[in-house]
Amino acid sequence: MSKSKKIPFDRRTMRSLAVSCVFAYDFVLREKRAAESENPKKAEKIKRSTDTVSISKPVGKGLKRHTTMTRFEYEEKYKEVLELLKDEAPEEPVKEDTFNTEEFIQDVLSSKLEEEGKEEVIFADLPDYNEYLYPVVNGVVENIDEIDAAIVRNLKNWALDRVNRADLAIIRVAAFEMMKFGSVVPLQIAINEAVELAKAGDQKSGSFVNGVLAGIAKELRPEQ
């Protein structure tokens, strides 16, 4: 039996895995927002010292040499050149390494399987990974501010920080499906699946999730 057959990777399971990833991403997001709120200049300094940039230089015969350094090192090394160029773009744009969703998914879910005593799975090789799991997790990451704004508008006398983190992960996934992924997941299915997932933890959670998503649905389709 192959490793992938040890877990039923159907769409419902994929949604549960997506929620697990978004739940884990919440910790990354909270740390990032806390750093920016506490000291924007310090956060930018940390970003410059930890972000990496990749520079490609031609070495002849169509080949290129790739060099990686921190943003701080890049700015120090090419300070004079950058001052001369000012706002002009270089011939070969500098590519910044940002949050890697694919590695994040693999790390989070591998840890989850390890805790459950199951063998490691290469999630990118599984059915529905490219069609559902990756685009949903990546979509939540890229649209998190818009998603959270929609959630806040539909929280009744409740702050986002007070929402149960598991419920919030479920709502974020469903909200993304409703707002950006409707061609793949119909709106009503997104709500129903989210509510069922929340109910598995607590009946009250199911009602809460349903209420928030119903509000978002009304914003998206006021005529219905």
Higher pLDDT, 1 or 43: 43
* Residue pLDDT, tens place only, 19-63: 999 999 999 888 887 877 766 665 555 555 556 656 666 655 555
Cβ contact 167:206 at 8 Å: no
Per-residue model confidence (pLDDT) at position 190: 94
We find that the CATH architecture of domain 3-39+99-220 is Orthogonal Bundle (1.10)
Per-residue model confidence (pLDDT) at position 113: 82
Higher pLDDT, 7 or 71: 71
Average pLDDT, integer, range 125-134: 87
In whole numbers, what is the pLDDT of the chain averaged over residues? 79
* Residue pLDDT, tens place only, 163-183: 999 999 999 999 999 999 988
Check whether 189 has a pLDDT greater than 90: yes
CA dihedral 133, 137, 138, 144 (to 10 degrees): 160
In terms of C-beta distances under 8 Å and separation of at least 24 residues, what long-range contacts does 216-219 make, across chains too? 216/150, 216/151, 216/154, 216/175, 216/178, 216/179, 217/178, 217/187, 217/191, 219/150, 219/153, 219/154
Q: Could you give the residue range(s) of every CATH 1.10.940.10 domain in the chain?
A: 3-39+99-220
Check whether 125 has a pLDDT greater than 50: yes
* Residue pLDDT, tens place only, 74-117: 666 666 665 655 555 555 554 444 778 999 999 998 888 887 77
d(CA 84, CA 63): 27
**Could you give the percent of the chain with pLDDT greater than 70?**
68
**Could you give the percent of the chain with pLDDT greater than 90?**
40
Per-residue model confidence (pLDDT) at position 1: 28
The model's pTM: 0.70
Cβ contact 22:173 at 8 Å: yes
